[in-house]
A and B are shown apart, each in its own frame.
Chain A
Amino acid sequence: MSRLFMFEKPLGMRDTLPGLYETKSIARESIKSEMKCWGFQFIETPALEYYETVGTASAILDQQLFKLLDSQGHTLVLRPDMTAPIARVAASKLLKEDLPLRLAYSANVYRAQQREGGRPAEFEQIGVECIGDHTISADGEVISLLISSLREAGLPSFQISVGHIGFVQTLFQQILGTEERAQALTKFLYEKNYVGYREHVKKLSLSSIDKQRLLDFLKLRGGEEVLSFANDIIENESGREALSQLQQLWEIMVAFGEEDKMKFDLTLISHMSYYTGIVFEVYSHAVGTPIGNGGRYDLLLEKFGKATGATGFALYLDRLLEALGGLSEEAPTTCILFSDERRQEAYELAKEKRTSGEKVVLQDINGVKNIDACTSQYSDIVFLIGKAGRGS
C-alpha cells in the first residue's frame, strides 16, 4: 500500500477553519433559537447505530452508508440521517403519553460520495421532527417553522415546493394496476428523466385517456390552481384525500400569511423512501441543489414498534451558508501585547474588557516574531511593555 500524504483526508471529509466556523455557528445559533422559540426540544443521538435497525430504516442508499464492525461482529453504520435515529429514541423512550412530541437536532450525518471528491461526505443537518400528530396542522407548523428559521438565518429569498407521495402512488397504482408497473414509472420520475417517462407511457398498453392522464401529471406544478387540475386527473378516494390534505395545507399557509413562499409540485418525489404524505423541498437561487427538505413519514415509527404519524424537515447547513454567501464579519478583537513586568496589569485589563463582553487576546510580546503582522490581525492593540508609566 502506498503511503498516505501527511495532509490528506478521507474522501469527502472537511476541516472547518475559524472564519467559516464562526459564520456557521452564527447561522446555526439563529436557527436553533428560532426552533426553541417554537417549543422544539433539542436532543442528541449517537453517531454510530446498528445497520440492522437504523441503517435499514434510514432509506439512504446502501452504497452511501459508512459501515464498520463492532467487537462482537455486529454491523454498524455512521448515521446517514437524523430522522431514523430520532424515530428510534421517540418510540423507545419518549412516546409514553401518546402526546405530540416536538424534537429538534443539529448534528453531522455521513453519506459516502461516489464521485468528485469535493462533495462532503460528512455534513451538518439542522432539523425538527413533530412526532405523534397526524393532522395537517403539524405539516403546516413545520413548514412555517422552516420559513421562520430561514428568515432568522438571514436568507432573503427562497421557495418551497410541496408535493404528496400518496398522490403519486395512488395515481400510478390506479392507472397501472400493479405495484411493479407503478414502480417502473416512478423510477423515471426519481431519475428526473421526463423524456424516458413519456416514451415509457407511450409504450404502455393503456387507453389514450389514461395515457394522457399520466402525461398531464408532469404538468402539475404551480399555485393553488394545480390542485383542481390534479382533481381532474385523479379518480379514486385516496387520491382525493391527498389533494384535500394539500388544500388544507394551503389554507394553513394562507392563514399564516406565508403562501407566497410555497408552490405545489406534485411531480416531487424523494429518494427517502419512508415518506408517505406531504413532502417538500426548499430552494435558494444561489445554490444548485435544495438547501433543505422534509415531509410526513407515517410508517417509520411503526418499524420501531409505535404506529404513529410524524413529520419534519432538515436543512443542510453547508448549502444554506452557500446560499447566504460569504463569511460573516468577525466581531472585533483586542490584542494586549505585554512584557513580563506588566503581566499582572495586562491580566487585569483583559479581565475587565472580557467581563464587558469584548474579545481579548493576551499575548506575551516575546512570543511574537513579527510585531507588524501580529498587530494587523486585530482591530485594536494595547501595548503594556516595559516598566509601568512608560510605553502606552
Chain B
Amino acid sequence: MKEILTIAMPKGRIFDEAVDLLREAGFKLPPEFEDSRKLIIDVEDEQFRFILAKPMDVPTYVEHGVADLGIAGKDVMLEEERDVYELLDLKISPCYLAVAGLPNTKMNDVAPKVASKYPNVAAAYFREQGEQVEIIKLNGSIELAPIIGLSDRIVDIVSTGKTLVENGLVEYERIADITSRLIVNPVSYRTKDERISEIVDKLTDVIHGVRS
C-alpha cells in the first residue's frame, strides 16, 4: 500500500498543461478532472490527493507541509521565496517577467512609480539597478496602471505580448524567463523520497523525450 501524496496544483493558466504533463508521464487521472469545481480531488488509483489552490499560494501550502508536492510558476517562486525544493523545470507555460509602460515615455523624475502583482520581484529588480522607485502592489489588470497614470511602469508576466499591444503598452526590459516548476516540501523530500523520486523520474522522461 503506497502512502498518499498531496499535490498542490495551480488553478487557471497552468492547470491544464500540468494535468496533460502528468497524464503523459503515465499517471492515471480521471477524465472529468479538469471540469471539477472541487478544491480537493482524490485519485485513489494513484494514491494522490490534489488540492487546487491559487497559483500564488501553491508554495505556501508546500512550505507548510500540508502539500508534499506542488506545481508553481517560477514567477511565484521568485516573488514568494519559500523554503521548498525546486526539483524540476517542467518547461510548461513558458512566459517571462518584463518591465512595460506606455511607448516613448521615461520614468517620472520626481516620483517614479512601478505597479505590479510581484512587489518583491519588482523592488529587487529596481534596487539592483540603483533606481529609487515606489512600488505599488496591484492584484490584477496591471495594464491599467500606466494608462490611467497610476504608475510609469509595470512589472508583469508576458506570454504572447498580446495584452500589452491591445492596451497600447510596450515592453522595456526583460527580467527573467519563467516556466513552471515541480516543488517539494523539505521534510517530504526526505521522508517520502522513494515515491517522490519515482514521480521526478517519470516527469523527467516526459520533459526530455517530448521537448528536447
Measured in the bound complex, the distance between the Cα atoms of B87 and A288 in whole Å is 17
Measured in the bound complex, the distance between the Cα atoms of B66 and A217 in whole Å is 28
Say whether A283 contacts B89, CB under 8 Å: no
Say whether B187 contacts A290, CB under 8 Å: yes
For the complex formed, measure the closest distance between the CB of B129 and the CB atoms of chain A, giving whole angstroms. Answer: 21
Say whether A288 contacts B86, CB under 8 Å: no
Chain B CB within 10 Å, residue with most, of A195, A283, A290 = A195
B63 within 8 A of A: yes
What number of A residues sit within 8 Å (CB to CB) of B?
A: 20
Say whether A222 contacts B86, CB under 8 Å: no
A124 within 8 A of B: no
Question: Which residues of A have CB within 8 Å of B181?
Answer: 195
Q: Contact string, B66-77, partner A, CB cutoff 8 A, digits 1/0? A: 100000000000
The residues in A between 269 and 290 inclusive whose CB is less than 8 angstroms from any CB of B are 281, 283-285, 287-290
Say whether B65 contacts A289, CB under 8 Å: yes
B86 CB contact (under 8 Å) in A195, A287, A290: A195
Say whether B87 contacts A195, CB under 8 Å: yes
Question: Which residues of B have CB within 8 Å of A193?
Answer: 86
Say whether B190 contacts A283, CB under 8 Å: yes
B79 within 8 A of A: no
Say whether A194 contacts B87, CB under 8 Å: yes
Question: Which residues of A have CB within 8 Å of B186?
Answer: 192, 288-290
Q: Contact string, A188-230, partner B, CB cutoff 8 A, digits 1/0? A: 0000111110010000000000000000000001100000000
Measured in the bound complex, the distance between the Cα atoms of B86 and A287 in whole Å is 19
Chain A CB within 10 Å, residue with most, of B63, B64, B191 = B191
A159 within 8 A of B: yes
Say whether B187 contacts A194, CB under 8 Å: no
The residues in A between 246 and 303 inclusive whose CB is less than 8 angstroms from any CB of B are 263, 265, 281, 283-285, 287-290
The residues in B between 168 and 212 inclusive whose CB is less than 8 angstroms from any CB of A are 181, 185-187, 190-191, 193
A195 CB contact (under 8 Å) in B64, B89, B191: B89
Say whether B85 contacts A194, CB under 8 Å: yes
Chain A residue, CB-CB nearest to B66: A288
Known A-B contacts A192-B83, A195-B87, A195-B181; A287 and B187 likewise in contact (beta carbons under 8 Å): yes
Say whether B65 contacts A192, CB under 8 Å: no
A159 CB contact (under 8 Å) in B63, B84, B89, B190: B190
Measured in the bound complex, the distance between the Cα atoms of B85 and A234 in whole Å is 24
Measured in the bound complex, the distance between the Cα atoms of B63 and A391 in whole Å is 60
The residues in A between 50 and 98 inclusive whose CB is less than 8 angstroms from any CB of B are none
A161 within 8 A of B: yes
B187 CB contact (under 8 Å) in A222, A263, A265, A289: A289
Say whether A222 contacts B66, CB under 8 Å: no
The residues in B between 119 and 177 inclusive whose CB is less than 8 angstroms from any CB of A are none
Question: Which residues of A have CB within 8 Å of B193?
Answer: 221-222, 263
Which residues on B are within 8 Å of A, measured CB to CB? 63-66, 83-89, 181, 185-187, 190-191, 193
* 30 CB < 8 A contacts A-B: A159-B190, A192-B83, A192-B84, A192-B85, A192-B86, A193-B86, A194-B85, A194-B87, A194-B88, A195-B86, A195-B88, A195-B89, A195-B181, A196-B86, A199-B89, A221-B193, A263-B193, A265-B190, A283-B187, A283-B190, A284-B187, A285-B191, A287-B65, A287-B187, A288-B63, A288-B186, A288-B187, A289-B65, A289-B186, A289-B187
Other than the given A194-B87, A281-B190, A288-B66, 5 more pairs (CB < 8 A) read: A161-B190, A195-B87, A221-B193, A283-B191, A289-B65
Which residues on A are within 8 Å of B, measured CB to CB? 159, 161, 192-196, 199, 221-222, 263, 265, 281, 283-285, 287-290
